[in-house]
């Protein structure tokens, strides 16, 4: 055997060498990408820096949306959109539409006896509708909480009233108390920042 002849690497050794070379290349690219990212990362999303850096490991392409100016931050867009919602207006429109539909259902195809049988439900929902839409000014958190149930606000508040034996809707103050209790029960995360009970207009 010719001792000067260079030994040829096995297939396994060649594969391991290729893997090591690729790993070294990826590691170098990762370091460069992370350094560039930290130099240009937006401060508005500082809590996401670690996650973004981890996402670069082994990645061939860096997601372009992780680089942005603070005034283009996706979080800012969501906050701005939320700030533009007129919760009071949306709630009033929802309740008015719900009550109009309820009135229509009470009239269409109903006999006088049917209407009379539902007289108290009509009274309760009318009291709730007038309190929300015309005669009370609530804290912003109340409107924001009710907004979550738009389309069924009136129905939900009526069911809440029926489920409370000692509840009353004889005055606007009674209805306001019912509404706030409902919001505190079903939307406590929103109402945590609420001020005292709604103020009369």
Q: Which token pair is 185?
A: 């029960």
Q: How confident is the model at residue 201 (pLDDT cuts 50, 70, 90)?
A: very low
195 and 128 within one domain? yes
Question: In total, how many domains does the chain have?
Answer: 2
How far is residue 88's CA from residue 118's CA, in Å, rounded to a whole number?
29
- The residue-averaged pLDDT of 143-158 equals 97
Phi, psi for 87 (deg, rounded to 5):
-65, -40
Percent of the residues in the chain that have a pLDDT greater than 70, as a whole number? 59
How far is residue 140's CA from residue 160's CA, in Å, rounded to a whole number?
21
| Domain end among 47, 82, 117 | 82
Q: How confident is the model at residue 199 (pLDDT cuts 50, 70, 90)?
A: very low
- The residue-averaged pLDDT of 43-70 equals 58
114 and 98 within one domain? yes
| Domain end among 41, 58, 82 | 82
136 and 65 within one domain? no
The answer on pLDDT for 60 being more than 70 is: no
111 and 194 within one domain? yes
Q: Say which residue, 11 or 26, is predicted with more confidence.
A: 11
pLDDT tens for each residue of 64-119: 555 556 666 666 655 555 568 999 999 999 999 999 999 999 888 788 888 888 99
Q: Considering the chain, what is the average pLDDT of its residues?
A: 78
Q: Which token pair is 86?
A: 């007129």
39 and 92 within one domain? no
3-state secondary structure of 136: strand
| Packed helices 87-107 and 140-147: angle between N→C axes, nearest 10 degrees | 50
Expressed as residue numbers, the domain containing 63 is: 11-82
195 and 165 within one domain? yes
Which helix H or strand E contains 199, and what residues bound it?
Answer: strand 199-200
3 in a structural domain = no
- The residue-averaged pLDDT of 37-51 equals 63
152 and 53 within one domain? no
Cα pseudo-dihedral 116, 121, 124, 127, rounded to 10? -70
Alpha-carbon distance values, 114 to 21, 105, 110 (Å): 83, 11, 6
93 and 132 within one domain? yes
């Amino acid at each position: 055997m010719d001792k000067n002849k260079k030994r040829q690497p096995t297939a396994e050794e060649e594969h391991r060498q290729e893997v090591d070379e690729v790993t070294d290349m990826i590691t170098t690219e990762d370091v460069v990408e992370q350094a560039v990212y930290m130099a240009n990362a937006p401060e508005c999303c500082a809590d996401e820096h670690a996650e973004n850096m981890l996402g670069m490991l082994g990645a061939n392409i860096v997601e372009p949306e992780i680089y942005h100016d603070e005034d283009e931050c996706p979080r800012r867009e969501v906050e701005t959109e939320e700030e533009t919602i007129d919760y009071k207006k949306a709630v009033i429109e929802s309740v008015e539409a719900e009550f109009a539909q309820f009135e229509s259902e009470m009239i269409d195809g109903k006999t006088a006896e049917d209407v009379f049988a539902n007289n108290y439900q009509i009274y309760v929902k009318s009291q709730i509708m007038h309190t929300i839409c015309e005669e009370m000014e609530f804290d912003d958190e109340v409107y924001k909480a009710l907004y979550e149930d738009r389309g069924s606000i009136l129905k939900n508040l009526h069911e809440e009233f029926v489920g409370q034996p000692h509840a009353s809707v004889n005055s606007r103050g009674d209805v306001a108390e019912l509404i706030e209790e409902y919001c505190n029960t079903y939307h406590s995360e929103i109402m945590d920042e609420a001020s005292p009970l709604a103020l009369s207009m």
